[in-house]
Structure 1
Amino acid sequence: MLSVALGTLRTRWTSFAASFVALALGVALIAVMGTALAATLDAPEQPPERFAVAPVVVQGARTLRVPTTHGVRTEPLARPRPVPARTVAALRRLGTVVGDRAFPVRVTGGPDGVVGHPWPTAAYAPYSLVTGRAPQADDEVVATVGWTRTGTRLRTARGTVRVVGTAAAAPPRGTRSGPGGPAATAPFETALFYTTHRAARLSPVGLQLVVEAGPEAVRRAVGHADGVRVLTGDARRLADADPDRDAEALTALNALFGTAGGVSGFVSVFVVASTFAFAVAGRRRELGLLRTVGATPGQVRRLVLTEALLVGVLASAAGCALGAWGAPHLAGWVVDAGLAPGWFTVGGHAWPYHVAFWTGLMVACSGAATAAVRAGRVRPAQALREAAVDRGTLPWSRRLIGAALLLTAAVTLALTLLGDPGELLHRKSYTSRPMLLISAVAVVSPVLVRPLVRLLTALPARLPSATGMLVREGVAAGARRASSVVAPVLVTVALAGSLLGATGMLSASKTAELREHTADFVLTPAMASATDGFDAATLDRLRRVPGAVVSATAGTEVYVVEDGVAPIGSEARAADPAALAATVRLPVTAGRLSALDDDSIVVNEEWARHTVGQRVTVWRGDGTRRSLRIAAVLATGTGDNGAYVTRANAAGAPVDRVDVGVARGADAGTVARSLRTAAKASGARVRTRAQWVSAHAPGTTRTTRLGYALVLGIALLYTAVSLVGTLTMSTAARIDDLRTLRLTGATRAQLLRLTAAETLTLVATGTLLALATTAADLAGLHIALRLQSAPAPLAFPWTAMAATATTCALLATAAGLLPTALALHGHGRSGALGAR
């Protein structure tokens, strides 16, 4: 049997080329994604940056520690606490103590993200002066290199300062310095260093200290101070501005690579299965001849499976080699695109290649399993007698599988809508759920192709030209070929519609929700005062604006332990209840906002306890514990409706937002001008509702866009492979039919037009099925949004779907016309007669 299979592969290699290429690409992608995932799991910890040479760093309480049924669990605090004064005094007795402060600075015409520090902390990075000197007066600063120079005067929101020096940080441990030394190293921050006195005035609260003393002595001095932690060695990285930025980037990469790998496997199964099935269907006469000379059904099945095994081994090996070549290129791309840290590399892991190889082999064998069963059913002389018309293209096994998949998709959707409709709004859900529905429709697509083609060709078939009739009858006679063309188009267009449609609907819903809940005007503080919020004088001026109803709120967070498992943080705002109700329209489903007081809280329906009058135990933003009564309940919406408390429960959070409503009878234009005048001195920004919504409307992140582009690119690549393979094989099988049409008087141009018409009809059929599948998928999301009190219109991403369908049409037309033109080349009418 092995020798027969090898002989078949040698003589009919074109029949297996599409399966080989698709499988090799799938294995390569799985190997690349697996290698990249392995690299994210073994990522090195980010080295300390700001305090790389500090002996010891002492931080105030930054985490909430809550005892649960699973032990003590922690959660980052929204309002970290400074080191207690008593602990600071004990530390000063050990040695030099330098207070660290970090605060945003807005520089007119300067870069974004400038941060301010006191100059004495620069020595612990260590920063060294490249030009100039250290600051000595309140209006003097030292700047990091690369964005300004010594002698420049900078206008900031807190006054004009003069740059008296520039400094560069030494490269982090384990990195190479450039030929220019430290100055050649890319800075990890854009900073301005002030005098100690000026930095303390700009940011009164210091959250961490550098102590010039031994770690053990510092730990003894700290003792059991609540939440205070001592950082030494690599743990000093936790004192950096964003110690988890690498981990967050790698988490996004995990999602990107995991989704791309899943789509690769999902699409490759369809392509390999359809091409194997079509190849076997085209060999009915050959298999019938084998049965005639004595081959048993089991031998025929083993022949087909052996062929699949051989193709699988060769393709998987080629895919692993291709993956080893492509993995470093992928790593370089994600680094260049800013999706991964600069140190990110791949390699050194063998298990992704084992997973990819054996997965490819399993896909090849499983994809050929149905075709092998069908091949074993060929009777000894059946294929020699039957006409070239496909019958029984959808066996009962496939019907049952399709029904089971459809039923599973419907039941799981119904259960989710009844139980937790918010689950459908999560990215993992709306990315993976469409695949189940697409699989179901693709499995049963052969039974849907003929009626849809008859519908599409109903009018053309009545025209004087015979093209419409020939397309209709040609598809009816070649149902397997038609299904092999329709399936990849269905998968690709439906993926584009479902993924992009879901994100579009969620964005539209969030935008509508934001517009509904935003006041007439919204004011935010200048960037430089964001940590301190609005000052009292500015708030007083705003409240005196005629015709303005002012609600000043502070951002904070509250934590609750649900089911005794772990603390869950929820964004909250501290507000005056009466002013809040007069300026914004919140989706209250129970209770009253006016009932909010210092002993109560407003929650949303997502909380485990959300009954008005119940009491919930919460931890405030600074970690203190309170028992609060539920005063009102908000609809869950798209998940952005947080909790509300009064200022007494906001743990000293500054006012960082002012919502302003226009009183009845007042002129909105006059109020806007008065608000800008009142806010001008503080640098606060005044935005209308439309401006606020435009600036804060949700949109897809760059990582998400690149991820979708990668996923859809993979699907289109597989579609091209499938179409080329299927149409090349079908053209070879139809060459006699084409020559017969030439004998009846058809020209080459007419035959090419007929081929193009058939192909485009099949692409249109696949697109119609994709539209129906996308509609069913997005309808579930639409219902979930309505149940969450955040309805959004059922909207298709028409542009993306049209572009995807057009690309499929171009690929299919090219894949159909080229082999047809080559097959007709040199076969004129006389050649056809001679052949007959």
Structure 2
Amino acid sequence: MLSVAWHTLRTRWAAFTGSFVALALGVALVAVMGQALAASLNAPTRAPERFAAAPVVVRGQDVLRVATPAGERTAELERPRPVPAGTVAALRALGPVTEDRSFPVRTSRADGAPAAPGNLVGHPWSTARFAPYRLTAGRAPEAADEVVVSGGWTTVGARLPTADGPLRVVGTVRGLGFENAVFYADARAARLAPDVVQLAVEADAAAVRAAVADDGVRVLTGGSRRLADADPGRDAEALTALNALFGTAGGVTAFVSVFVVASTFAFAVDRRRREFGLLRVAGATPGQVRRTVLAEALVVGVLASATGCALGAYGAPLLGDLVVDGGLAPGWYAIGGPGAGVWPYQLAFWTGLSVALGGALAASWRAGRTAPAQALREAAVDGRALTWGRRAGGAALLLTAGATLAYALATDPGDLLHRKTYVVRPMLLITAVALLAPTLVRPLLPRLPGVVGLLARAHAVAGIRRSAAVAAPVLVTVALAGSLLGATATLDRARSGEARQQTAADFVVTPRDGTTLPPRDVERLRRVPGTLVSATSATSVHTLEDGVALVKSEARAADPRLLARTARLPVTSGELADLDDDSIVVTEEWARHRVGQRVPVWLADGTARTLRIVAVLAVGTGDNGAYVTPANAGGAGVDRVAVRVRPGADRAAVAARLRAVEGVRVTDGAQWARAGRPQPARTTLLGLLLVLGIALVYTGISLANTLVMAAAERGPALRALRLAGGTSAQILRLAATETLTVVAAGALLGLLVTTVNLAGMSAALRLLSAPPALVVPWTAIACTTGACALLALTASLTTTATALRLTPSARGRRPRGRPVSG
């Protein structure tokens, strides 16, 4: 069988080129994604930065620990607790103790002032030696208005206007790359940031541990001192986003490659009916025919998988450089190399081989059922458009897609809004429609005017399997583009509408640097005449669900009386005005969400409380969170101020007074709803574009391969058109019309799948009491359809023009036989 398969591949290499290229590309992508995932499984241990030279760092409680029947559950606290005063006193008896403080430095606009970076962070000068920072010019700060800055953006003697008053730069230090530091005199830093969350102790580590009471305080030595740096988990968070990006791309690659390879083998087998019929006439059994097809797939699979692994080894480092240059990964991230391991290549190779054999399995079964009489067939018209296997498989997948959608809407509509769900769910419906494509394409083929239009439709209907093979990859690409980009656009519009509905304020004030507003600025905003001001803080609460799962929920802290007048929250039960220091407002997705119930919670600083539920909010798009009073904010600072203009007050004057406060951004309610709504993560958008790029490449491969395989059997039709007097231009126009008609049918099927998927998401939004939205990305669909049409048209015209050069015209054809003499 292998020898027969090898000779078949040598003589019919053009028919298998598309399968080979598609499979090799798929294996290469799987190999690259596997190496990318291997490189992103674990972040390297980052060395300590700010306290690299400190012997011991003592840090206040920053981990919540809750005992459950299934063991201890832990969660990182949003705001660590200050080191207890008693612990600080005990540590001072062991050796020198240096208190650390960190706070944002807000620069003001002033003529002649140096252009400062936007992320300045302040520290006491006494902590600079632990990084270590060394003076490159000037001296240490002594007075309250003196500072030392890192980096080369300013010089000694410069004036630095800030929201806390003007500062004089009396010294500079070389920047170390991980922060833009501003060092104050210790006394001034203590006034700006009174709480001491961590401190450096110059004493023996064992003595420090003995002196620290068991109150959650952590003693950091060696490499663990990196946990005292700002955002020590940033590398792990970046790798999590990369895992999602590469995992999605790898999954779609596998799906599309299986689809293309399976459809290619199925179409190739269907075009070889006469060949298999001749084998049956020569005495071949059905099993031998099936083994021949599988042997062909085995040879193609081995060669393509090996080629794909080689391509993957070459392309992996390029992808690593691309994501680093694009800011999606840390600078140390790299893909490939000697330590990458061989498992990604093994996974890619065996996946490719399995895809080849699996894609050919159904085709081989059909090939084995070919009757010897097929050798006598001359007609190119397809018989039954849809086999019972495709009919049953398509119907089963269609019912499964409908049933799972209905179940999700009935039990957990919020799951339909998650990225993993709206990326994976369309594939089920796409596969179902693709299996039923031979039946669905026929009624979508329009009756075009003119002889060319009539012939184009007749050719497409006569070769309905070929038409379905062309329409199917278009369906996949258009449906993926519409479903994925439409899902993000639908969620974006729903969130925007939700924000507009819930905002009753005339103005929203936020800090320009994205941190929190100082208390004095909040007081200045409250003193603006003719306003009602509601200051809120972003915080979080932890709950224990089912007695074993420690769940973090986003929350906001606000004065309930002011909140009710500046916001329109979607309350489903209870009263928002009943919120006090002993209660909480929750959403319907909480395990306990009945008014009057008491729920144990842990605040953002780890404080344990038992609060009474006074109101319940609708889930919405998932951005609605819990509400508590400022007493339960866990030390969170004000990050948003909603301002409502009182009746009779001058709106323009109020806006001017609000903008006069330094360091704030003032927007009206509508602008804030548009600009402040959550946006899809950059990695999510790039992941979707990567998925669509992969789908479009596979579409081009599938279209070219299908049209090349179909060119040979169209020779008799072209000869007939030539004999009927058709010119080359007319035949090319006929081929173009037929191709574009079939592409349009595939695009319509893709649009149908997109509409169904987005309709399910819109129904979920309605059930969640969110503003229903259904956004079809017409631009993306039009561009995708145009790209598919261009690829198909290029392949069709190229193969038709090649065939025309080999087909004699009616004028050039000489009659056979003897000439008749007069």
- Is TM > 0.5 for Structure 1 vs Structure 2? yes
Asked if 1 retains the 8 angstrom alpha-carbon contact of 2:504 and 2:565, the reply is no
Give me the whole-angstrom Cα distance separating, in 2, the residues matched to 1:192 and 1:402: 65
| Partner SS for 1:381 | helix
Asked if 2 retains the 8 angstrom alpha-carbon contact of 1:105 and 1:527, the reply is no
Counterparts in 2 of 1:502 and 1:266: CA distance versus 1, 3 Å: same
Aligned counterpart in structure 1 of residue 683 of structure 2, from 696, 703, 709: 703
Q: Is 1:279 paired with 2:264?
A: no
The residue identity in structure 2 corresponding to 1:744 is A
| Partner SS for 1:482 | helix
5+ long unaligned stretches in structure 1 = 171-186
State the shift of 1:23 in Å: 0.3
Could you say which residue in structure 2 is the equivalent of 1:176? none
Q: Is 1:202 paired with 2:156?
A: no
Give me the whole-angstrom Cα distance separating, in 2, the residues matched to 1:261 and 1:659: 44
Asked if 1 retains the 8 angstrom alpha-carbon contact of 2:511 and 2:640, the reply is no
The within-5 A match list for 1:793-808 is 793-808=773-788
Moved more, 136-145 or 284-293: 136-145
Asked if 1 retains the 8 angstrom alpha-carbon contact of 2:598 and 2:613, the reply is yes
Asked if 1 retains the 8 angstrom alpha-carbon contact of 2:119 and 2:513, the reply is no
Counterparts in 2 of 1:760 and 1:60: CA distance versus 1, 3 Å: same
Counterparts in 2 of 1:392 and 1:87: CA distance versus 1, 3 Å: same
Counterparts in 2 of 1:566 and 1:834: CA distance versus 1, 3 Å: farther
State the shift of 1:526 in Å: 4.3
Q: Is 1:318 paired with 2:303?
A: no
Q: Is 1:506 paired with 2:471?
A: no
Give me the whole-angstrom Cα distance separating, in 2, the residues matched to 1:590 and 1:674: 38
Counterparts in 2 of 1:694 and 1:791: CA distance versus 1, 3 Å: closer
| Partner SS for 2:148 | strand
The residue identity in structure 2 corresponding to 1:359 is T
| Partner SS for 2:470 | helix
Could you say which residue in structure 2 is the equivalent of 1:482? 467
Could you say which residue in structure 2 is the equivalent of 1:810? 790
| Partner SS for 1:49 | coil
Give me the whole-angstrom Cα distance separating, in 1, the residues matched to 2:286 and 2:85: 87
The residue identity in structure 1 corresponding to 2:63 is T
Give me the whole-angstrom Cα distance separating, in 2, the residues matched to 1:149 and 1:568: 48
Q: Is 1:354 paired with 2:346?
A: yes
Q: Is 1:142 paired with 2:122?
A: no
Q: Is 1:328 paired with 2:321?
A: no
Counterparts in 2 of 1:635 and 1:832: CA distance versus 1, 3 Å: farther
Counterparts in 2 of 1:529 and 1:113: CA distance versus 1, 3 Å: closer
| Partner SS for 1:209 | strand
State the shift of 1:539 in Å: 4.5
Could you say which residue in structure 2 is the equivalent of 1:125? 131
Residues 736-774 of structure 1 deviation map (CA, whole Å, 9 limit, x = unaligned): 211221111111111111111111111100000001100
Could you say which residue in structure 2 is the equivalent of 1:94? 94
| Partner SS for 2:372 | coil
Could you say which residue in structure 2 is the equivalent of 1:466? 451
Could you say which residue in structure 2 is the equivalent of 1:174? none
Moved more, 438-447 or 684-693: 684-693
State the shift of 1:365 in Å: 0.7
Give me the whole-angstrom Cα distance separating, in 1, the residues matched to 2:2 and 2:65: 65
Q: TM (normalized to structure 1)?
A: 0.94
Asked if 2 retains the 8 angstrom alpha-carbon contact of 1:534 and 1:656, the reply is no
The residue identity in structure 2 corresponding to 1:508 is R
Counterparts in 2 of 1:394 and 1:498: CA distance versus 1, 3 Å: same
Counterparts in 2 of 1:702 and 1:553: CA distance versus 1, 3 Å: closer
Give me the whole-angstrom Cα distance separating, in 2, the residues matched to 1:189 and 1:834: 86
Moved more, 637-646 or 524-533: 524-533
Could you say which residue in structure 1 is the equivalent of 2:394? 402
Give me the whole-angstrom Cα distance separating, in 2, the residues matched to 1:352 and 1:611: 50
Q: Is 1:151 paired with 2:157?
A: yes
Residues 613-634 of structure 1 deviation map (CA, whole Å, 9 limit, x = unaligned): 1111111222222221111111
Residues 343-374 of structure 1 deviation map (CA, whole Å, 9 limit, x = unaligned): 11223211111111111111101111111111
State the shift of 1:166 in Å: 2.4
Residues 10-37 of structure 1 deviation map (CA, whole Å, 9 limit, x = unaligned): 1110010000000000000000000110
| Partner SS for 1:489 | helix
The residue identity in structure 1 corresponding to 2:346 is H
Asked if 1 retains the 8 angstrom alpha-carbon contact of 2:380 and 2:713, the reply is no
The residue identity in structure 1 corresponding to 2:300 is V
Could you say which residue in structure 1 is the equivalent of 2:732? 752
The residue identity in structure 1 corresponding to 2:32 is V
Q: Is 1:218 paired with 2:208?
A: yes
The residue identity in structure 1 corresponding to 2:122 is G
The residue identity in structure 2 corresponding to 1:662 is V
Asked if 2 retains the 8 angstrom alpha-carbon contact of 1:130 and 1:167, the reply is yes
The within-5 A match list for 1:651-662 is 651-662=634-645
Could you say which residue in structure 2 is the equivalent of 1:718? 698
| Partner SS for 2:219 | strand
Residues 405-438 of structure 1 deviation map (CA, whole Å, 9 limit, x = unaligned): 1111111111111111111111111111111111
Give me the whole-angstrom Cα distance separating, in 2, the residues matched to 1:534 and 1:473: 77
State the shift of 1:686 in Å: 2.8
Give me the whole-angstrom Cα distance separating, in 2, the residues matched to 1:529 and 1:772: 42
Asked if 2 retains the 8 angstrom alpha-carbon contact of 1:739 and 1:832, the reply is no
Aligned counterpart in structure 1 of residue 589 of structure 2, from 588, 593, 606: 606
Counterparts in 2 of 1:411 and 1:375: CA distance versus 1, 3 Å: same
Could you say which residue in structure 1 is the equivalent of 2:632? 649
Could you say which residue in structure 1 is the equivalent of 2:221? 232
Give me the whole-angstrom Cα distance separating, in 2, the residues matched to 1:167 and 1:590: 58
Could you say which residue in structure 2 is the equivalent of 1:773? 753
Give me the whole-angstrom Cα distance separating, in 1, the residues matched to 2:273 and 2:310: 35
Could you say which residue in structure 2 is the equivalent of 1:444? 436
Give me the whole-angstrom Cα distance separating, in 1, the residues matched to 2:523 and 2:581: 23
Asked if 2 retains the 8 angstrom alpha-carbon contact of 1:82 and 1:205, the reply is yes
State the shift of 1:43 in Å: 3.1
Could you say which residue in structure 2 is the equivalent of 1:178? none
Asked if 1 retains the 8 angstrom alpha-carbon contact of 2:242 and 2:328, the reply is yes
Q: Is 1:518 paired with 2:511?
A: no
| Partner SS for 1:793 | coil
Give me the whole-angstrom Cα distance separating, in 2, the residues matched to 1:159 and 1:529: 20
| Partner SS for 2:792 | helix
The residue identity in structure 2 corresponding to 1:34 is G
Moved more, 780-789 or 146-155: 146-155
Residues 65-121 of structure 1 deviation map (CA, whole Å, 9 limit, x = unaligned): 111222111122233211001100111111111111111112344222111111221
| Partner SS for 1:795 | coil
The residue identity in structure 2 corresponding to 1:27 is V
State the shift of 1:195 in Å: 1.6
State the shift of 1:671 in Å: 3.3
Residues 327-354 of structure 1 deviation map (CA, whole Å, 9 limit, x = unaligned): 1111111111111111112232111111
Give me the whole-angstrom Cα distance separating, in 2, the residues matched to 1:727 and 1:3: 27
| Partner SS for 1:520 | coil
Asked if 2 retains the 8 angstrom alpha-carbon contact of 1:104 and 1:527, the reply is no
5+ long unaligned stretches in structure 2 = 110-114, 817-822
State the shift of 1:667 in Å: 4.2
Could you say which residue in structure 1 is the equivalent of 2:63? 63
The residue identity in structure 2 corresponding to 1:30 is V
| Partner SS for 2:183 | strand
Give me the whole-angstrom Cα distance separating, in 2, the residues matched to 1:156 and 1:404: 67
Q: Is 1:627 paired with 2:610?
A: yes
Moved more, 153-162 or 281-290: 153-162
Residues 674-723 of structure 1 deviation map (CA, whole Å, 9 limit, x = unaligned): 4445xx2x544332112322331232332122111111110000001111
Moved more, 544-553 or 337-346: 544-553
| Partner SS for 2:519 | coil
Residues 762-820 of structure 1 deviation map (CA, whole Å, 9 limit, x = unaligned): 11000000011001111110000001111232220000111010000011100111121
Counterparts in 2 of 1:318 and 1:749: CA distance versus 1, 3 Å: same
Asked if 2 retains the 8 angstrom alpha-carbon contact of 1:490 and 1:770, the reply is yes
Give me the whole-angstrom Cα distance separating, in 1, the residues matched to 2:729 and 2:145: 82
| Partner SS for 1:20 | helix
The residue identity in structure 2 corresponding to 1:207 is V
Moved more, 352-361 or 512-521: 512-521
State the shift of 1:831 in Å: 8.3
Fraction of identical pairs, as percent: 63
State the shift of 1:647 in Å: 2.5
Give me the whole-angstrom Cα distance separating, in 2, the residues matched to 1:286 and 1:193: 83
The residue identity in structure 2 corresponding to 1:394 is L
| Partner SS for 1:611 | coil
Asked if 2 retains the 8 angstrom alpha-carbon contact of 1:554 and 1:575, the reply is yes
The residue identity in structure 2 corresponding to 1:221 is A
Give me the whole-angstrom Cα distance separating, in 1, the residues matched to 2:815 and 2:2: 35
